[in-house]
Amino acid sequence: MGSPRWLFVALTLGSISLAVAACGSRPSRAGRTPFQTHMAVHYERTAEIHDALVKGVLAQARPAAGWISTHQETRRIPEGSGHFDALMRHYARQVFETSDLRAAFEATAQMGRTCGDCHRANGVTAAPALMASPPPAGGDPKGEMALHVWAARRMWDGLVGPDDRAWEEGSQALTRGWLQVNQVVSSPQDRERVRSLLQTVYDIGSRGPAAADPQERARLYGEFLATCADCHRLTGAVIR
């Protein structure tokens, strides 16, 4: 298949691991300019950050965040777009330096927005990966998690693209959850907390499709990432 490799970089957690390219040290893949190849590496490395954060493991996000904030590949940045590059690095550095997971979610969301802003300014859409339809509704908590993973990935593609359709589909999927609190926690106190997290997910899903402003999208996306880590902590879910 001739599709670029980044199409296959799944943000899916678990069995699918990310193949990380060493930037700059290899010849560009057939038919792509060096800059395109470089962008594909950006995509892969931000996927690493995203994966680590939804697991709630900030330390695993650091290598990629550090790389994005410091890598020396500024030669081919489109003229007039240097400030986007600087901003992207700024947010990546925040992810690298912070020890606060929530701050990392917000910075990651802002970083994704900055990718999208530079693409928009240059009339580019980083076409989102071809994705299967969202997983079917119903079933056990793992099924709903597959829906969350799907939605998070689609929203990220929407932010980075920028791609309205990906954004709308991803956020809309969040209104289709079916998880019941008593499936995942038992104490009344925990139930209340999980209920409130599920409500947050639902609210993000209902507001998402109408949110056209990139800042608003970044905010919703950051909030969504925060629910993953909060709920996993509460329920003791182990994410590999």
Please give the single-letter amino acid code of residue 173: A
Determine if 57 is a binding residue for ligand HEC (CB under 6 A).
no
Cβ neighbours for 233, distance < 8 A, ≥ 6 positions apart: 56
* Residue 84 CA to its chain's centroid (Å): 19
* Contact (CB, 8 A) for 49 and 65: yes
66 binds ligand HEC (CB under 6 A): no
- Distance in Å, CB of 89 to ligand HEC, minimum: 9
Report CA-CA distances (Å) from 210 to 9, 213, 220, 226. 28, 9, 11, 21
Dihedral over alpha carbons 68, 30, 33, 8 (to 10 degrees): -40
Name residues contacting ligand HEC, limited to 105-144 (CB under 6 A): 111, 114-115, 118-119, 122, 124, 126, 141-142
Residue 4 or 205: which CB sits closer to ligand HEC?
Answer: 4
- Rounded least distance, CB 128 to ligand HEC, Å: 9
Taking the C-alpha atoms of residue 103 and residue 101, their distance in angstroms, rounded to an integer, is 5
**Rounded least distance, CB 122 to ligand HEC, Å:** 4
Q: Under the rule (CB under 6 A), what is the footprint of ligand HEC?
A: 4, 6, 13-14, 32-33, 35-36, 39-40, 42-43, 46, 54, 77-78, 81, 84-85, 88, 111, 114-115, 118-119, 122, 124, 126, 141-142, 145, 148-149, 152, 160, 179, 184, 194, 197-198, 201, 224, 227-228, 231-232, 235, 237, 239
